[in-house]
Amino acid sequence: MKFLSRHNVPSAMSLALIVLMSSSAMAQTPTKTSDAAVAKLGTIHISSAEVQQLLRAMPDNERAKVKSDRAGLDNWLRQRLASEALLREAQQKKWAERPEVKARIDTAIKDVTARIVSSSYLESIARLPADFPSDADVNAAYERAKPQLHIAATYRVAQIFLPVAADADAATIAAVRKKADELAKQSREGDFAALAKAHSQDTPSAAKGGEVGNLPLAQLLPETRDVVASMQLNQVSEPVRSASGFHVLKLLATQPSRLATLEEVKPALQTALREQRQRELANEYLSKLAPPADVKIDNAALEAALQKIN
């Protein structure tokens, strides 16, 4: 969508890559015809199930951003196929049997095993009852957190978008600007939604009469924020130039900034309180295992070790 702040998308895509690259799902040779392959490289394929796993593991807002970033998804698919091809080539050459590689693998297995055993054991020690925290705890946390629980004002906006190529010459830009001016004038006198459906080049919003959603200013293109914030209800703006083209905007509705209700943030508060208490229990147990008074640090030996590292 050309209206949303595009610098939010890479972070979503980065999160997506981390989620799936750290999972056990791997591109593989097809074994089930019922699981459609969304990308192939010879006998290597990435299944529909893998992509679904990627998306389900993400928060709803991040999932929506990733789904709309087809270029990012396509790039990820190519990288996954190339990575799997590289791994298979290394396996065919028995690379893992080289002494120096095997030593690194053994060390990694020991490190991962130690972390899993230690962390799972500590989790069992810091396990909390299912009914923690109590409603009183949640209410108290809500009162403490109120200064940070304000929801930003939102703006329900529609647009007519006319793209301009990055390398467009002055004549082309002037022609698109002229058309945007004409559409702005027509939309003030006629049906904005109908004009958006007929002329806007942002397909997702055009299909909805130009509507791009109910968004805070931070999620709008920087060039449009001041314009939207200053508009009156049902006002149509002059064309706004962004890096991707011209936007004719209409403000459909606004919601002022407000304090989030307890019900809206209760799940997040419960999670935060559980995580906080688990950390406290874990730290208390570790302190018992290694009391400060019993831990001896040889500062001279430590300093000597540090000096050996450039």
The span from the first CA to the last CA of the chain, in angstroms, equals 49
Which residue type does 198 have?
A
150-258: CATH number: 3.10.50.40
Contact 234, 175 (CB under 8 A): no
Q: Using an 8 Å Cβ cutoff, are 2 and 202 in contact?
A: yes
pLDDT of residue 17: 46
Position 27 scores a pLDDT of: 54
Single out the residue of 58, 77, 61, 56 nearest to residue 4, CA to CA.
61
What's the pLDDT score for residue 62? Answer: 78
d(CA 221, CA 2): 8
* Contact by Cβ (8 Å): 230, 238: no
Asked if residue 274 lies in contact with residue 128, where contact means CB atoms within 8 angstroms, the answer is yes
SS3 295: coil
Regions of the chain where pLDDT drops below 70 = 1-34
Burial of 59 (0-12, 13-18, 19+ CB in 10 A): exposed
Characterise 213 by phi-psi region: left (phi > 0), alpha (psi -120 to 50), beta (else).
Answer: left
User: Is residue 11 left, alpha or beta, with left meaning phi > 0 and alpha meaning psi from -120 to 50?
Assistant: alpha
* pLDDT single digits (tens) 87-117: 999 999 999 999 999 999 999 999 999 999 9
Residues contacting 87, CB < 8 A, separation 6+: none
